[in-house]
A and B are shown apart, each in its own frame.
Chain A
Amino acid sequence: MTKKNLLKKGAALASLALGLASFSAASATAQELRFMCSSDGNECATFRELFDKFEAANDGVSIVIEDVPYKSILENLPIQLAAGTGPDLAKVTDLGGLNQYYLDITPHVDAATWETNFGSTQPWFRGGDDDNGIYGMLTQLTVTGPFINKTLFDQAGVAVPGADADWDTWAAAANEVAKATGVTFPMAMDRSGHRIAGPAISYGAKLFADDGSPILVDDAFTAYVEKFVGWHKDGTMAPEVWGASGGTSYQDAKAEFINGDLVYYFSGSWQIQKMAESIGDDFDWQVVGSPCGAGGCSGMPGGAGVVGFEQTEHPELVGKLMDFLAQGDNYNYLTAKTLNIPAHAGVAANPVDYIDASEDAAAALNAFAAQVAGLSPIALKYQGFKHNRAMFNITLQRVSQAIVGELSVEDAMARAKTDLAEALAASQ
């Protein structure tokens, strides 16, 4: 090999090495976070806007949003986490149930500020009374409650029941309206153990024993289920929602309500953005208070929260990102754009200036926000309870069986009790 060739080869090798070095250096500083998100409306798109802001302020950081159906968050995310292949962050609803996978971000954030702003809902993320970690924050506080199609009430000439009306009153009113207007479905409730919890609690169900252990089924709960099954049999409740699916699959009745075919829809505040968009000015709709009973007039709180996972390779960055989202103005923007109720105490202190909200939407949001104060303590406890998902699933399975006539209400509730005992035993 001649000297010239050697030099040429040497130069080529050197530049290659330099190139590789710079490449690896660049990739060393490039940090990527995966954020698993499911939208009820425009949540994930709004996160994208905020993340773009974060990326601009933090060089070399890129945040990838995985937009998935809600079913995936419920069914697939836990499997991913168990397998160790989960994302860095996610927007989840099973706050307590996934606690074993959470990242404690206390070392990366100002604990005092977080306690001030999110104190009341922090227990929902924790594993027990002795757990003091900071694992996430609620990005949307939700409340379950009823929507009504006001136009149909007007058309039928039926007065909207008052704030202290109970279930029987509402059922009668809805039936009257449906009959008068020829609409197919008087009432519907989402197929979800979480949804039926509020009405059951209002009816008087205690769900927990005096010592704090879960019992799920008591006389009041059974009585409410009896009523619920009865409404399905006499046509008050839309049968397809609870009656057609099996197992624990989720089913809602949003489409029927939006199409104007449903008078009374028991769902929750996360639907507001989608409803405002889809209904437009087809008819007037309102949020009314939860029907009252021996246990109050309570819905169930809920909400999705952003959490970080222990499996992440960039814990400090995760903490930084969550702190960013917890900043007053960022959180305010998130709430205002996604038309949700704020869980941030600082933001909730003042009325939120919702962006692009129609009159109906804004009124609905304020109506739900006003109901937060009236939430039953049982509801708050149930939402934060570690094993609530098992209880929701059991409720779903057994109540559905009662509705389709596979089991009597009595048998279904007895089964629910044994199911709960087995589930608790297996989770130790």
Chain B
Amino acid sequence: MAKILNFLTRTRGKNGADFMDWLTYAYLVFGVLIMFGPVLWLVASSFKTEAELSKFPPRLLPYQQEMVEVEGYDKLLPLFEVTEGEHAGRVVAQVKRIGLSSKLVDPAKPDETFKVSVKERVAVESIALAWDNYTELFEKFDFIRYFWNSTFITAVSTIIMLIVNSMAAFALSKYDFRGRNTVMALVIIVLMIPQTVVLVPLFLIAKELYLLDTLWGVIIPGAATPTGVFLLRQYMLTIPDEILDAARMDKASEWKIYWRIILPLSAPAIAVLAILAIMWRWNEFLWPLIALSRSENFTLQLALNSFQGELDTEWSNLLAMTVLTLLPISLVFAFLQKYIATGIASTGGK
């Protein structure tokens, strides 16, 4: 116990915690609250029924009205407690509600029904997770398909990017050929041409290549990234040339050198680029919005956005869909956050 206390209150070597330390930890706690808090609230809300969601002020825990089976009625009936009038205190089920009046029945005596004003009864609730919000996603909406589309695009695009970029980086770092500087300059120029400023012609090019409204229309244009080339080139420059020369003396072909020596040695940089690529592709929104039109080709992000204004969607399903969309990337985050952090730090500003 003493050890833990010691651990928690250890400071910068001075005796006891000073003011700055308190401030520091206060800031950090505040950081945790504001960074995680909103997302946790979203997750908590996603387990509430639509009826519960429309209650104001919102309650922390998800409540659901209890339902009961009553003899003589096919469907489950909602449970209420009468609060006023002659039947006060009784816990009964509601058969039908017509405007302001509610027809109730005692589950124990199914033949006896009576009427009570809706103001004189209150719902009997218990805490329950509305898993329906999630299961409905798979029934009402083609959720698996959107998930598959996102996954397919992300995976294939990342692989293509890694191969194409590493090949280019290899050429630019290990070969001295005429025109190398020109190519480097060209790569820099591409850096200045983000997708956002060439949307219209990109659309035409995609159309002419029959890529529009296909997953490949999102995969291929996204695979050439100047950042990737820079990152990998930077790293490959640190691989000693002697290794390559030795391999060449052993009659190894250049291609063999590429994938047997260069790629494995560049693994850390490739890992970083892979993680960045997965992040970029999974979260991509604008170009898929333009390039994809049939809803069966939608990525998760497009589906999430388009269902916002949709006549049939309710917040309960939207929240569940949001949670499922952020789950994969959160898992990646949980397991790989160390690598992501070092990756960002090392690429920072390039």
Binding site for B on A (CB under 8 A): 36, 39-40, 66-72, 75-77, 79-80, 82-85, 151, 154-155, 245, 249-252, 254-255, 259, 274, 281-284
Contact of B307 among A67, A69, A284 (CB under 8 A): A69
Contact of B99 among A36, A72, A151 (CB under 8 A): A151
Given contacts A67-B295, A68-B295, A151-B100, contact A80 B213 (CB under 8 A): yes
Told that A76-B292, A85-B210, A274-B311 touch, could you supply 11 new A-B pairs with CB distance under 8 A? A40-B311, A69-B311, A71-B310, A72-B295, A75-B293, A76-B295, A85-B293, A154-B100, A155-B99, A259-B54, A281-B98
Closest A residue by C-beta to B315: A255
Contact B100 A71, beta carbon cutoff 8 Å: no
Given contacts A77-B293, A85-B213, contact A70 B99 (CB under 8 A): no
Contact B207 A83, beta carbon cutoff 8 Å: yes
A252 to B313, CA, bound (A): 12
Top 6 closest pairs, chain A to chain B, by CB: A76-B293, A151-B99, A68-B295, A69-B310, A83-B212, A83-B207
Closest A residue by C-beta to B290: A79
Contact B309 A284, beta carbon cutoff 8 Å: no
**B132 at the A/B interface (Cβ < 8 Å)?**
no
> What are 21 pairs between A and B in contact, CB < 8 Å?
A66-B295, A66-B296, A67-B295, A68-B295, A69-B310, A69-B312, A70-B310, A70-B311, A71-B306, A71-B309, A72-B293, A72-B295, A80-B213, A80-B293, A85-B213, A85-B293, A151-B100, A154-B99, A274-B311, A281-B96, A282-B97
Contacts of A283 in B (CB 8 A): 99
Contact of A69 among B100, B212, B295 (CB under 8 A): B295
Given contacts A151-B99, A154-B99, A281-B97, contact A250 B295 (CB under 8 A): no
Q: How far is the CB of B143 from chain A (nearest CB, A)?
A: 14
Contacts of A72 in B (CB 8 A): 293-295, 306
A83 to B54, CA, bound (A): 42
Closest B residue by C-beta to A149: B99
Contacts of B293 in A (CB 8 A): 72, 75-77, 79-80, 85
Closest B residue by C-beta to A271: B311
**B314 at the A/B interface (Cβ < 8 Å)?**
yes
Q: How far is the CB of B7 from chain A (nearest CB, A)?
A: 49
Which B residues between 291 and 326 are near A, CB-CB below 8 angstroms?
292-296, 306-307, 309-312, 314
Contacts of A254 in B (CB 8 A): 311
Contact of A76 among B54, B96, B210, B294 (CB under 8 A): B294
A281 to B98, CA, bound (A): 6
A84 to B203, CA, bound (A): 13
Contacts of B311 in A (CB 8 A): 40, 69-70, 252, 254, 274
Contacts of A79 in B (CB 8 A): 212, 290, 293
Contacts of A69 in B (CB 8 A): 295, 306-307, 310-312
Q: Give the size of the chain B interface in residues (CB under 8 angstroms).
A: 23
Closest A residue by C-beta to B293: A76
Contacts of A84 in B (CB 8 A): 207
Contacts of A39 in B (CB 8 A): 312
Closest A residue by C-beta to B204: A83
Q: How far is the CB of B94 from chain A (nearest CB, A)?
A: 11
A150 to B15, CA, bound (A): 74
Binding site for A on B (CB under 8 A): 54, 96-100, 207, 210, 212-213, 290, 292-296, 306-307, 309-312, 314
A284 to B290, CA, bound (A): 43
The DSSP consensus for interface residues of chain B is: loop
Interface centre among A69, A75, A245 (most CB of B within 10 A): A69
Contact A68 B294, beta carbon cutoff 8 Å: yes
A283 to B101, CA, bound (A): 10
A274 to B313, CA, bound (A): 12
Contact A250 B212, beta carbon cutoff 8 Å: no
Contacts of B296 in A (CB 8 A): 66
Q: How far is the CB of B291 from chain A (nearest CB, A)?
A: 9
Contacts of A282 in B (CB 8 A): 97
Contacts of A82 in B (CB 8 A): 207
Contact B294 A251, beta carbon cutoff 8 Å: no
Closest A residue by C-beta to B210: A85
Closest B residue by C-beta to A284: B99
A274 to B310, CA, bound (A): 13
Q: How far is the CB of B29 from chain A (nearest CB, A)?
A: 34
Closest A residue by C-beta to B313: A69
Interface centre among A66, A76, A282, A283 (most CB of B within 10 A): A76
Contact of A80 among B99, B294, B306 (CB under 8 A): B294
Q: How far is the CB of B32 from chain A (nearest CB, A)?
A: 31
Contact B213 A83, beta carbon cutoff 8 Å: yes
Closest A residue by C-beta to B212: A83
Q: How far is the CB of A238 from chain B (nearest CB, A)?
A: 15
Q: How far is the CB of B212 from chain A (nearest CB, A)?
A: 4
Contact B294 A66, beta carbon cutoff 8 Å: yes
Contacts of A75 in B (CB 8 A): 293
Closest A residue by C-beta to B292: A76
A249 to B310, CA, bound (A): 10
Closest B residue by C-beta to A67: B295
Contacts of B98 in A (CB 8 A): 281, 284
Q: How far is the CB of B313 from chain A (nearest CB, A)?
A: 8
A274 to B312, CA, bound (A): 9
Closest B residue by C-beta to A79: B293
A255 to B213, CA, bound (A): 32
A228 to B191, CA, bound (A): 49
Contacts of B207 in A (CB 8 A): 82-84
Contact A155 B100, beta carbon cutoff 8 Å: yes
Q: How far is the CB of B180 from chain A (nearest CB, A)?
A: 39
Contacts of A155 in B (CB 8 A): 99-100
Closest A residue by C-beta to B295: A68
A125 to B126, CA, bound (A): 55
Closest B residue by C-beta to A78: B293
Q: How far is the CB of A72 from chain B (nearest CB, A)?
A: 5
Interface centre among B210, B213, B294 (most CB of A within 10 A): B294
Contact B309 A249, beta carbon cutoff 8 Å: yes
Contacts of A76 in B (CB 8 A): 292-295
Contact A85 B212, beta carbon cutoff 8 Å: yes
A39 to B314, CA, bound (A): 16
A425 to B84, CA, bound (A): 69
Interface centre among B97, B292, B296, B310 (most CB of A within 10 A): B310
Contacts of A251 in B (CB 8 A): 309
Interface centre among B207, B296, B312 (most CB of A within 10 A): B312
Q: How far is the CB of A272 from chain B (nearest CB, A)?
A: 13
A89 to B296, CA, bound (A): 16
A85 to B294, CA, bound (A): 10
Contacts of B97 in A (CB 8 A): 281-282
A76 to B212, CA, bound (A): 11
Contact A255 B314, beta carbon cutoff 8 Å: yes
Contacts of B54 in A (CB 8 A): 259
Interface centre among A67, A70, A83 (most CB of B within 10 A): A83
